[in-house]
Chains A and B, each alone.
Chain A
Amino acid sequence: MALNSLGREIPESYAGKPLIPYGDPYAIRPQGNVAARPLKRVNPGHNKRLSSLREAIEASGLKDGMTIATHHSLRNGDFLLNRIVAEIAAMGLKGIWIASSSVHPVHAEIIPHIKSGVIAGFQCGVNGLIGEMATKGELTCPIVVRTHGGRARSVIEGSVHIDVAFIAAPCCDEYGNMNGYYGPSACGSLGYAQIDATYASCVIAVTDNLVPFPVVPVSIPQTLVDYVVVVDRLGDPAKIVSTTTRVTTDPVGLQIASYASQVIEASGLLRDGFSFQTGSGGISLAVAEKVRNAMRKGSIKGSFGCGGITGYFVDMLEEGLFSALMDVQCFDQEAVQSIGRNRAHQEISADMYANPFNAGAVVNRLDCVILGATEVDTSFNVNVNTESNGYLLHNTGGHSDTAAGAKLSIIVAPSIRGRLPIVRDRVTTITTPGETIGVVVTERGIAVNEKHAELKEELVRRKLPVKDIAELQREICRVTGTPRPLEFEDEVVAVIEYRDGSIIDVVRRVKE
Chain B
Amino acid sequence: MAGFKLRRSLLYVPGNMPSMLQNIPIFNCDSVIIDLEDAVPLSEKDAARHLVKRFLLNYTDRNKELLVRINPLDTKWGYEDLKVVLPAMPDGIRLPKADTPEIVERLDTLLTEFEEELEVEIGRFGILPSLESALGVINAVGIANSSERIFALAFGAEDYTASMEIERSRGGEELFNARTRVLWAAKAKGIQAVDTIFADVSDMEGLRAETELAKRLGYTGKCLVNPRQIEVVHDVFAPKQHEVEYALQVIEAIQRARQLGTGVIALGGKMVDAPVVKRAARVLRTAYAHGMVDTLIDEEAIHGAQ
User: How far apart are the CA atoms of A249 and B227 in the complex, in Å?
Assistant: 10
The answer to whether A255 touches B26 (Cβ under 8 A) is: yes
The answer to whether B23 touches A443 (Cβ under 8 A) is: yes
User: How far apart are the CA atoms of A443 and B58 in the complex, in Å?
Assistant: 19
The residue that B294 contacts in the complex, of A252, A255, A461, with Cβ under 8 A, is A461
Q: Nearest residue in A to B11 (C-beta to C-beta)?
A: A251
The residue that B23 contacts in the complex, of A251, A258, A462, A475, with Cβ under 8 A, is A251
The answer to whether A251 touches B291 (Cβ under 8 A) is: no
- Distance from A445 Cβ to chain B, minimum over Cβ atoms (Å): 8
- Beyond A443-B23, A461-B291, A463-B291, whether A251 also contacts B231 by CB under 8 A is no
- Beyond A461-B291, A461-B294, A462-B291, whether A255 also contacts B227 by CB under 8 A is yes
The answer to whether A252 touches B23 (Cβ under 8 A) is: yes
Q: Nearest residue in B to A464 (C-beta to C-beta)?
A: B291
> Chain B binding site: helix, strand, loop or mixed by DSSP?
loop
CB within 8 Å of B: which A210-256 residues: 249, 251-252, 254-255
Interface residues on B, range: 10 to 19
B25 at the interface (CB under 8 A from A): yes
The answer to whether A252 touches B26 (Cβ under 8 A) is: yes
User: How far apart are the CA atoms of A444 and B231 in the complex, in Å?
Assistant: 17
Q: Nearest residue in A to B26 (C-beta to C-beta)?
A: A443
The answer to whether A444 touches B25 (Cβ under 8 A) is: yes
CB within 8 Å of B: which A443-490 residues: 443-444, 461-463, 475, 478-479
Q: Nearest residue in B to A444 (C-beta to C-beta)?
A: B26
Chain B residues, CB < 8 A from A251? 23, 27, 226-228
B306 at the interface (CB under 8 A from A): no
Q: Mark B16-47, 1 if CB is under 8 A from A, else 0.
A: 00000011011110000000000000000000
- Beyond A444-B26, A479-B22, whether A254 also contacts B227 by CB under 8 A is yes
Q: Nearest residue in A to B22 (C-beta to C-beta)?
A: A479
The residue that A249 contacts in the complex, of B27, B28, B228, B291, with Cβ under 8 A, is B228
Chain B residues, CB < 8 A from A249? 228
- Distance from B85 Cβ to chain A, minimum over Cβ atoms (Å): 21
Q: Nearest residue in B to A442 (C-beta to C-beta)?
A: B26
User: How far apart are the CA atoms of A475 and B61 in the complex, in Å?
Assistant: 10
Chain B residues, CB < 8 A from A462? 291
User: How far apart are the CA atoms of A461 and B290 in the complex, in Å?
Assistant: 11
Chain B residues, CB < 8 A from A478? 58
User: How far apart are the CA atoms of A258 and B23 in the complex, in Å?
Assistant: 16
7 A-B residue pairs with CB within 8 Å: A251-B228, A254-B227, A443-B23, A461-B291, A461-B294, A462-B291, A463-B291
Interface residues of A (CB under 8 A from B): 249, 251-252, 254-255, 258, 443-444, 461-463, 475, 478-479
Interface residues of B (CB under 8 A from A): 22-23, 25-28, 58, 61, 226-228, 231, 291, 294
10 other contacts beyond A461-B291, A475-B61, with CB at 8 A cut-off? A251-B226, A251-B228, A252-B26, A254-B228, A255-B26, A255-B28, A258-B231, A443-B26, A444-B26, A479-B22
Please list the 5 inter-chain residue pairs (A to B) with the smallest Cβ-Cβ separation, ordered nearest first. A251-B227, A443-B26, A463-B291, A462-B291, A444-B26
